[in-house]
Amino acid sequence: MKIGIVGFQGDVEEHIEMLEKISIKRGRGIDVIRIRKRDDLDGVSGIIIPGGESTTIFKLIQEYGIYDEIRRMVKEGKVPLMGTCAGIIIASRNTNDPRVKGMDLIDIEIERNGYGRQAESFIQEIDINGIGKYTAVFIRAPVIENSGSAEIMGKVRDKPVIVREENVLGLTFHPELTDDTRIHEYFIKMIEREGSISSGASAVGVMA
């Protein structure tokens, strides 16, 4: 299995370390690569767009010619995608930011920095469908204002924070900044086609 992390800016190394930890735990190899050009997408089994600065990541994936290719691969069902924080902004249907054109890979509408600036960052325990109690790290997090046809897997303050639609998993928080591997393991199961197609909208309650 080869998983590609869009590798221009943001929490790239943290995602790599998390996947390497899981590879050791499972006792079988997960090859992790940084995606910086179109050829890097050859043979990948899954793609992660990390947290960081969405305007910068968007500009660079367009400049290096991988925006359209990632969109095509995911739209055609060839690979699952996980977007965290900035990544979910880029994957969304509507970013509400003229500087960032969403890939329309998941039917959600986003408000950037919806919880406030860096000083308003927070840690919150949430309850996630299929995963359970999870301590999530929110840093200048976007808010999902409209979840459309996406399945809501968890909420904070009555707003969705983790959603899924078919082969796309989106999070407004940073699972790579914790020691908890379960969300990355969930994404690996999507890659392995263990229930990779989600069929309903099912909300869960969370601690507010």
The pLDDT value recorded for residue 78 is 94
Model's pTM, two decimal places? 0.89
The pLDDT value recorded for residue 90 is 97
**Alpha-carbon distances of 108 from 6, 103, 111, rounded to whole Å:** 21, 11, 10
| 105 pLDDT higher than 80 | yes
Are 154 and 128 within 8 A, CB to CB? yes
Catalytic status, residue 85: yes
Mean pLDDT over residues 89-104, rounded?
A: 96
Assigned token pair, 65: 């010619």
**Amino acid residing at 55:** T
Quick: pLDDT tens for 107-119: 999 987 656 555 4
- At 15, the pLDDT band (50, 70, 90 cuts) reads very high
Quick: pLDDT tens for 34-44: 999 999 999 99
Among the options 14, 111, 151, 176, which is catalytic? 176
Quick: pLDDT tens for 42-73: 999 999 999 999 999 999 999 999 999 999 99
The pLDDT value recorded for residue 204 is 35
Phi, psi of 177 (to 5 degrees): -100, 15
Are 148 and 105 within 8 A, CB to CB? no
| CATH number 3.30.365.10 given to 2-191 | no
What percentage of the chain reaches a pLDDT higher than 70? Answer: 89
Kindly list the domain boundaries of the chain, sorted by start residue.
2-191
Catalytic status, residue 176: yes
Mean pLDDT over residues 14-25, rounded?
A: 94
The pLDDT value recorded for residue 199 is 35
SS (H, E, C) 30-73: CEEEEECCHHHHCCCCEEEECCCCHHHHHHHHHHCCCHHHHHHH
Assigned token pair, 9: 């800016």
Are 135 and 185 within 8 A, CB to CB? no
Quick: pLDDT tens for 131-151: 999 999 999 889 999 999 999
The pLDDT value recorded for residue 206 is 34
The pLDDT value recorded for residue 194 is 47
Assigned token pair, 50: 């990390």
Q: Concatenate the DSSP letters of all residues of 68-93 into one string.
A: HHHHHHHHTTSS-EEEETHHHHHHEE
Catalytic status, residue 184: no
Among the options 111, 151, 165, 174, which is catalytic? 174
- What does pLDDT average to over the chain? 89
Among the options 85, 151, 165, 166, which is catalytic? 85
